[in-house]
Amino acid sequence: MRRTLTLVFVLGGFALQAISYFFLAAPLGAQVNEAFSNPRVPFAALLFVLGVMAVFLAAVVYELLPERYGE
Amino acid sequence: MATRASVERLPYGIGRWSAGWVAVTGLSLAVLALGVFAFARQLIEGEVVTGLRNIGTMGGATWGLYVAFIVYFGGVSFAGITIAAMIRLLNLKHLRPISRMALVLAVISIILAALSVLIDLGQPFRALINLPLYGRPMSPFFGTFSVVISGYLFAGLVYLYLDGRRDAAICAERSEGVRQTFYRLWAAGYRGTPAERERHQRATFWLAIAILPLLVIATSTLGFVFGLQVGRPGWFGALQAPGFVILAGVSGVGHIIVLAAILRRVLGAEDQLNPHVFQWLGNLLMILTATYLYFWAAEWVTTSYAGHHHEVALSNALLTGEYAWLFWLSVGSLLVPFLLLARQFVTGQYRLGVMVVSGVLVNVAAIGKRILIVIPSQTHGTLLPYGTGSYSPTWVEYSVVLGLLALGALLLTLFMRVFPIVEIPQYAEGG
């Protein structure tokens, strides 16, 4: 349970970073028009930051959660 | 409320307010109030009350003292977390006593860096919405705020929290009332069983591994904000990113030496903060200072010997022109500590006073160098046909920066009154 949740936080955090960076934020490439300036989804940058936080939060999950219920 | 007896059982004077502590807190609050007043003036009247002006057309600099201190505070934070992570990764047990103070320093510094960013913006409260809403994660400017500030802050807080659980459990046993509730919440059921210790070791090991590359990338990103600007003589260059990493280490280690020396005396922690700890820090500072001096010399030779005329003009402004006093003050403030520390290393005779002086001087150099990185390239480094500009910070900027430093001192003081800033030794666990 603890290990699984830790892994979810680590992988989920990295996934959130990758998705927000490549697919939700403003497109990569030369800024030929304003579509390259604005994010495709609002608050994509915030999602990236939340991804960074989730990866570090995995350490708290790993250390605080019991291995199984009742431990 | 905790009773007097329970407070006296807590280590390092936690919960006790002597005249000295009250004086430091009062002074910090007074300077902070001055900073808040100055910032209020800036907020109401706009950045016209600062010395910041447009580059070129207004002959000024748009980035000034605030941006120099963003880089400075970010650098101190980088070094704090890096040292804590290195102590864990390399299992440097004799340096454990400085681990927590390095983390606290890192967290406080990054809060000050974030505030410096917001203060530098004309409309800081609007920026709080627009940055997360429109920011481009691939931009070095956004990277400064996201990876550097949120990453450092969160990594530092998580590390500090996990690292402090054992001491929180010890303090909970020795206290009562609200204070005990606080310690119990922090300890989160920590009992110090072998399984818990092993889990903690594993968690902090992987956390340290995750932190180190992030820190190097993040601090380099801060360097890239300057180093990638091809049209700005003095900024564009491959050495900016590694130079930022090394100078961050220099200022942070200098800070930790000074702080450790103060705490050794104030908290009576001579056993934990022993000469061996300072010897190690002094040698590390010597190596980092030498490395940065080499970087600085390499950069200067390249720009002044082979650079185009804009680079040479900027180099002349630094060496013999308007900024020469600050340039040579910064060089001297790095060179003197290096020579002092090298002498100690060669003779094997280490003196705490010499290391504290070195720690202070390298921070003078670090602030000076950050100002020299940020400002001269704007006033003397334009490729467009504008004349040379000038920048002089006003009392508002000086007051705000002093206010930030006072806020840092206040946060540090308050932390030390509620939690052990030096790890409680193993033998003291029983009480």
What single string gives the DSSP state of each residue in B389-421? ------HHHHHHHHHHHHHHHHHHHHHHHHS-S
Please state, for a pLDDT cut of 90, what percent of chain B lies above it: 52
CB contact under 8 A, A59 and B207: yes
Inform me whether the C-beta atom of residue A32 falls under 8 Å from chain B C-beta atoms. Answer: no
Inform me whether the C-beta atom of residue A7 falls under 8 Å from chain B C-beta atoms. Answer: no
The pLDDT score that the predictor gives to residue B7 is: 55
CB contact under 8 A, B154 and A45: no
DSSP H or E stretch at residue B264:
helix B240-266
Most confident option among B145-154, B208-217, B412-421: B412-421
Residue B2: is its pLDDT beyond 60?
no
| pLDDT tens-digit series, residues B203-221 | 989 888 888 887 888 788 8
The pLDDT score that the predictor gives to residue B286 is: 97
Half-sphere exposure of B176 (CA within 13 A, CB side): 8
Nearest to A22 by CA among A46, A39, A35: A39
Residues of chain A below pLDDT 50? none
CA distance B154 to chain A (A): 6
If you measure CA to CA, which chain A residue comes closest to B210? A56
| pLDDT tens-digit series, residues B169-182 | 999 998 888 999 99
If you measure CA to CA, which chain B residue comes closest to A2? B199
Res. B308 pLDDT band, cuts 50 70 90: confident
The pLDDT score that the predictor gives to residue B397 is: 97
Residue B135: its chain A contacts at CB < 8 A? Answer: 25, 39, 44-45
Do the domain assignments include residue A66?
Answer: no
The pLDDT score that the predictor gives to residue B192 is: 86
CB contact under 8 A, A59 and B142: no
CB contact under 8 A, A48 and B146: yes
Average pLDDT over every residue of B364-376: 94
Do the domain assignments include residue A68?
Answer: no
CA distance A24 to chain B (A): 10
Average pLDDT over every residue of B271-293: 94
Residue B153: its chain A contacts at CB < 8 A? Answer: none
| Longest CA pairwise span in chain A (Å) | 59
Residue A25: its chain B contacts at CB < 8 A? Answer: 135-138
Res. B4 pLDDT band, cuts 50 70 90: low
Structure tokens at B181: 């509730």
DSSP H or E stretch at residue A37:
none
Most confident option among B53-67, B78-92, B217-231, B321-335: B321-335
Instruction: Give CA–CA dist B103/A22, Å, rounded.
Output: 32
Give chain B's domains with CATH numbers.
Answer: 4-423 (1.20.1630.10)
Lowest mean pLDDT among B2-16, B88-102, B216-230: B2-16
If you measure CA to CA, which chain B residue comes closest to A52? B151
Residue A52: its chain B contacts at CB < 8 A? Answer: 146-147, 150-151, 154, 214
Do the domain assignments include residue A65?
Answer: no
Residue B151: its chain A contacts at CB < 8 A? Answer: 52, 56
The pLDDT score that the predictor gives to residue B352 is: 94
- State whether ipTM is beyond 0.85: yes
Inform me whether the C-beta atom of residue B128 falls under 8 Å from chain A C-beta atoms. Answer: no
Residue A45: its chain B contacts at CB < 8 A? Answer: 131-137, 142, 146
Number of domains in chain A: 1
CB contact under 8 A, B136 and A63: no
Do the domain assignments include residue A7?
Answer: yes
φ/ψ (deg, to 5) at B424 = -65, 130
Scan residues 136-195 of B and list those with Cβ closer than 8 Å to A: 136-138, 142, 146-147, 150-151, 154-155, 158-159, 161-162, 165, 188-189
Domain that holds residue A49: 2-60
φ/ψ (deg, to 5) at B55 = -75, 145
If you measure CA to CA, which chain B residue comes closest to A53? B154
The pLDDT score that the predictor gives to residue B430 is: 47
- Ramachandran sector of residue B2 (left: φ over 0; alpha: ψ -120 to 50; beta: rest): beta
CB contact under 8 A, B134 and A45: yes
The pLDDT score that the predictor gives to residue B76 is: 92
Most confident option among A1-15, B77-91, B118-132, B325-339: B325-339
Residue A26: its chain B contacts at CB < 8 A? Answer: 136
Nearest to B3 by CA among B199, B206, B188, B178: B178
Average pLDDT over every residue of B47-53: 92
Residues 6 or more apart whose CB falls under 8 angstroms from that of B384 comprise: B56
The pLDDT score that the predictor gives to residue B142 is: 74
CB contact under 8 A, B158 and A48: no
Cβ atoms of B150 and A53 within 8 Å: the answer is: yes
CA-to-CA dists, residue B14 to A17, B10, B333, B417, B422, angstroms: 40, 6, 36, 5, 11
Average pLDDT over every residue of B359-380: 94
Do the domain assignments include residue A67?
Answer: no
